[in-house]
Amino acid sequence: MPQQTAEIEVESWIDIVKQKVSAMRFGSVQIIVHEGRVTQVESTEKTRLSAEPPATQTRK
């Protein structure tokens, strides 16, 4: 693989990781490597719920 192609490939997965991180509040980004190459970037976003129930709800 020519050096220039490798540099473009590295920049592209790094940009993907930056984009995924900046788009979420809570979660994780996982980088999958196969034979020394990044082959996949996965993200999981979590939604945090308040521990306290809303004041408008009443229990019966």
Q: Which of 34, 55, 56, 30 is nearest to 43 (CA)?
A: 30
d(CA 29, CA 33): 13
pTM comes to 0.62
Average pLDDT along the chain, 60 residues, taken 10 residues at a time: 60 90 94 94 91 67
10: left (phi over 0), alpha (psi -120 to 50) or beta: alpha
Domain definitions of the chain by residue range: 3-45
Q: Which of 27, 54, 55 is nearest to 43 (CA)?
A: 27
DSSP classification of residue 49: -
